[in-house]
Chain A
Amino acid sequence: MTARATHVQDRLLELTYGELSPDESRLVEAHVDECPSCREALEEIRGVRRVMSKLSQPAAPEGGLESLFAYAQQSARRASAGPPPKSTWWRKWLVPAGGLAAAVTFGIIAHEVAQAPELQNPREQVMLEKLAATAQEARAPQAPPMEMAERSAEPVDDGVTLGVIGPVAEERAGIDQDLGLRGSGKGSGSGEHLEIAAAAGPPKEKVDLNRRQSPSRQGAKKRAPAAEEEARYADKAMLGGSKDALAVRRGWNSEGGAAAMPSRDAQPSFAEEGSVVAQSSTGAGRAGLSQPSVAPPQAPVAAPPTSSPRKKADAETAPSVAAPAPTSAAPEARAERKAAAKMAPPVAAAAPPSAAPEANSGKRAAAPSAAPESAQRGMARSEIAHESMDLGYDRAQSRSDAARAQAQALSEKAYAAQRDGSRQLEARYLKEALATGVADAGTVTNLLLRLCDAHFAVGNATEGEAACERVVREFPSSSAARVASRRLVESRARRGEGEAASEPATGATPAETPR
């Protein structure tokens, strides 16, 4: 088919379907009249159309019309209500970005909560720390703390803190020196120093302590309740004489666990605990391993909390670090710590001989830190020690855990002795367990009650009553105190002192309990 023929066919189609203008239609029709082939072609088209027009056109089904109209009506309502907001790029990313931001925020908060000890369960945290400390102690019980050396290299930028911590280092130095005289020469007593500093410090000083610990609120939070407790007991110890001072010292040794659980475990009275330790140690006469006390035991008694001699002593012991101290409370605190350090020697007498090699805390506690040469060396090492306050706290807690573990071991021996019928040996083990400095209230009350029973069993009513009285005095609100009171009454009734037996029981009320 030529191009012209095609063009003619197209025109015929357009003519057939009426798509030509009237003028074009007339021209094509004129051509068709003169052209037989085109006329024949046009007839064929019209013939086919005539036949195909017979094709039936079925009506569209009615089904779905209602739903279709309802859908259209709904769509029309939406259209009349206005166009939907255009989906911009930021709208598309708003929800995923918001979700991502929420997830990140939640993760950060969760991480912070996991890192913040004050938001954790204190008991759980203490357990975790104790486990870690126990593992560390088991690996290297005598290893010197490398962290301390590292921390000592850190720059000191807080003069207040230096002023506060200087005496602590001094005491540590003294204790270390004493340990060296005894041939130990290892380990750091920074744990005690920390508690001493906290105990001797007035509230203002505690604020300074917290300031220094601001990067690590954990230590400050832990030390805060412990410092209050120890401050009370330190005052009491100084007023109560060397025996109570010893108790304070023992309490400091075991402060770690109690400070970590201030709600319940911070209850034990260190003074009374120390008194029992002193009794047991003096009775057994097992202080031979410790250095004899150099400082007079009555020194703390004569030392008032804010006496000027103590300020002078403080200035002498830590002149370099005390100079920039901006607070006036710092010298007092240091003086109190100094006094507390002088209280340490009685601990030497109270230290149990069975403070096995792993009982570092007991040894350190028994160190007479008031020795003159120790003080001199302590001054020289104070700048190292005051940087290790954080580590010292951890060390103290570790030692407390070690003491607890040792006490539990001795408790097991006591149980074994009880099963063997050797109540005397049981009492001895129990005394040794108490002398480890364990501060956990449950452990102490358990040991004391068992000690009470053991003494009663062997007929030593005086010792038994002393143990029971200690329970009543130190844990007045506990169930163990009620048991102890009952045993006291029974014991005294047996001794014909039934009338006087009710007094300790009434004295078990918290209001009357000496604090």
Chain B
Amino acid sequence: MLSFRGGDPRAFEQLVLRHRTPVYHFILRLAGHPARAEDLLQETWLKVVRGAQDYQPRARFTTWVYTIARNLCVDSARKESYRRADSLDAPLGAGDGEGAALGERVPDGGASPERGAHNRRLQPLIEAALRALPPEQREVFLLREYSGIAFKEIAVVTGVSENTVKSRMRYALEGLRRKLAELGVDGDLAEDGRTAVG
């Protein structure tokens, strides 16, 4: 980021290529709408460019980017609260109650056919469990689980204390466990025992 601020545009390209997917994922899971997530992602990077001259290396770049993205998502959620937002679980077919849900159309990261089929069955359940979390817990879980942001930095991003972040994380994990149990999903469904991060 300091290189980009010094006038190197390629530094910014590297930053974008490195962080755009996790940031997009965070935005998508937090905003809940792919098109809106795309707009918010673009706006996030534009803000990064505009704020490059004011960037101070007191925190990690990821912390800064996620702070921007999170604030944009919060603002967007406030605006969208006055509108009717499409649910990821809402069927796309109008009136018939059938068809693939929006969450099911989210492309998979690539896997073998078997695992792909397994994940296709598992995705809606996981997304439903994640969507069931309150936003403040969901954002902490997303940042920690998928973006690899430390609790201390999550506290900076969300503007709360680190203990609050850990508390929200505990509640998020407990809520996910209960929701997955309700949905019939437990840890045994994971084939290889891997986690998203770490």
Contact surface of A with B, Cβ cutoff 8 Å: 6, 9-10, 13-14, 16-19, 43-61, 63-65, 68-69, 71-73, 75-77, 79-80, 83
* Option from A44, A58, A76 in Cβ contact (under 8 Å) with B8: A76
Residues of A within 8 A of B127 (CB): 55
Contact (Cβ within 8 A) A48 B176:
yes
Closest 6 CB pairs of A and B: A47-B187, A80-B7, A50-B190, A60-B24, A53-B196, A49-B195
* Extra pairs beyond A52-B196, A83-B53 (15, CB < 8 Å): A9-B170, A17-B198, A46-B195, A48-B176, A50-B190, A50-B193, A51-B176, A52-B145, A54-B122, A56-B119, A57-B196, A59-B21, A65-B16, A76-B7, A77-B7
Write the B178-197 contact mask toward A (1 if CB under 8 angstroms, else 0): 00100001111110011111
Residues on B with beta carbons closer than 8 Å to the beta carbon of A58? 24-25, 28, 34, 106-107, 109
The residues of A that contact B38 with a CB separation of less than 8 Å are: 60-61, 63-64
Interchain CB contact under 8 A, B150 and A19: yes
Tell me the B1-60 residues at the A interface (CB within 8 Å). Answer: 4-9, 12-13, 16, 20-25, 28-29, 34, 38, 41-42, 45-46, 49-50, 52-53
Please, which residue of chain B has its CB at the minimum distance from the CB of A60?
B24
The answer to whether B170 touches A79, judged by C-beta atoms less than 8 angstroms apart, is no
For the complex, give the distance between the alpha carbons of A47 and B8 in Å.
44
- Which B residues lie within 8 Å of A18 (CB)? 198
Pair B151/A56 contact, Cβ less than 8 Å = no
Pick from A54, A65, A68, A77: contact of B119, CB under 8 Å: A54
A374 to B197, CA, bound (A): 122
B173 at the interface (CB under 8 A from A): yes
Q: Do the beta carbons of A13 and B169 come within 8 Å of each other?
A: yes
Q: Which of B7, B123, B151, B176 contacts A54 (CB 8 A)?
A: B123
Contact between A72 and B49, CB atoms less than 8 A apart: yes
Q: Which residues of B sit under 8 angstroms from A14, Cβ to Cβ?
A: 151
- Give the chain A neighbours of B107 by CB distance below 8 A: 56, 58-59
Residues of A within 8 A of B42 (CB): 64, 68
Interface status of B61 (Cβ within 8 A of chain A): no
Q: Which residues of chain B have C-beta atoms less than 8 A from A56's C-beta?
A: 106-109, 119, 123
Are A44's CB and B173's CB within 8 A? Answer: yes
Interface string of B100-138 (1 = CB under 8 A from A): 000000111100000000010011001101100000000
Partner of B185, one of A51, A61, A79: A51
Interface centre among A9, A14, A17, A43 (most CB of B within 10 A): A17
Q: Is the CB of B130 within 8 A of A80?
A: no
Q: In the bound complex, how far is the Cα of B20 from the Cα of A46, in angstroms?
A: 27
Tell me the count of chain B residues lying within 8 A, CB to CB, of chain A.
65
Task: Tell me whether A13 and B21 are in contact (CB under 8 A).
Answer: no
Question: Do B196 and A49 have beta carbons less than 8 Å apart?
Answer: yes
What is the CA–CA distance of A68 and B194 in the complex, to the nearest angstrom?
35
Distance of A43 Cα from B189 Cα, bound (Å) = 14
- A55–B126 touching, CB < 8 Å: yes
In the assembly, what is the distance between CA of A17 and CA of B13, in Å?
29
| 8 Å CB contact of B6 from A64, A68, A80 | A80
Which of B146, B173, B194 has the most CB atoms of chain A within a 10 A radius of its CB? B173
Closest to A11 in B: B166
Which residues of A lie under 8 Å from residue B186 when comparing CB positions? Answer: 47, 51
Q: Please, how many angstroms separate the alpha-carbon atoms of A351 and B145 in the complex? A: 118
CB distance from B125 to the nearest CB of A (A): 9
Is the CB–CB distance between A50 and B109 below 8 Å?
no
Contacts of A60 in B (CB 8 A): 20-21, 23-25, 38, 41
Contact assessment for B198 and A47 in the assembled complex, using a CB-CB cutoff below 8 Å: no
Interfacial chain A residues near B150, Cβ < 8 Å:
17, 19
Which residues on A sit within 8 Å (CB–CB) of B49?
68, 71-72, 75
A75 to B12, CA, bound (A): 11
Residues of A within 8 A of B12 (CB): 69, 72, 76
**Within 8 Å CB of B170, what residues of A?**
9-10, 13
Please, which residue of chain B has its CB at the minimum distance from the CB of A45?
A: B173
From B23, B187, B193, contact of A48 by CB (8 A): B187
User: Which single member of A17, A76, A83 contacts B9 (CB below 8 Å)?
Assistant: A76
Residues of B within 8 A of A6 (CB): 167
Q: Could you tell me the distance between the alpha carbons of A22 and B107 in the complex, rounded to whole angstroms?
A: 38
Bound-complex Cα distance A48 to B53 (A): 41
Set A9, A68, A79: member contacting B46, Cβ < 8 A:
A68
Return the contact of B194 from the options A10, A13, A50, A71 (Cβ within 8 A): A50
> With a CB–CB cut-off of 8 A, which chain B residues contact A77?
7, 9
Listed by A's residue number, 8 A-B pairs whose Cβ atoms lie within 8 Å are A13-B166, A44-B187, A50-B194, A51-B189, A52-B195, A57-B196, A71-B46, A72-B9
Known contacts: A76-B4, A83-B53. The answer to whether A54 contacts B9 by CB under 8 A is no
- Give chain A residues whose Cβ lies under 8 Å from the Cβ of B180: 48, 51
CB contact between A55 and one of B6, B146, B167, B177 (< 8 Å): that residue: B146
Q: Which residue of A lies closest to B177 (CB)?
A: A48
Contacts of A54 in B (CB 8 A): 119, 122-123, 126, 189-190
* B25 to A: closest C-beta gap in Å: 5
CB-nearest residue of chain B relative to A71? B49
* A53, B189: Cα distance in complex, Å: 11
Report whether B13 and A75 are in contact in the complex, using a CB–CB cutoff of 8 Å. no
Chain A residue at minimum C-beta to C-beta distance from B24: A60
CA distance A58 to B52 in the complex (A): 27
Instruction: Point out the residues of chain B lying under 8 angstroms from A44, CB to CB.
Output: 173, 177, 187
Q: How far is the CB of A41 from chain B (nearest CB, A)?
A: 9
Nearest neighbor of B15 in chain A, beta-carbon distance: A72
Instruction: Report how far A202 CA is from B86 CA in the complex, Å.
Output: 100
CA distance A56 to B125 in the complex (A): 12
- Min CB distance B57 to A, Å, is 16
Report the bound CA distance from A16 to B166 in whole Å.
Answer: 12
Among A55, A57, A72, point to the contact of B130 (Cβ < 8 A).
A55
Q: Is the CB of B4 within 8 A of A72?
A: yes
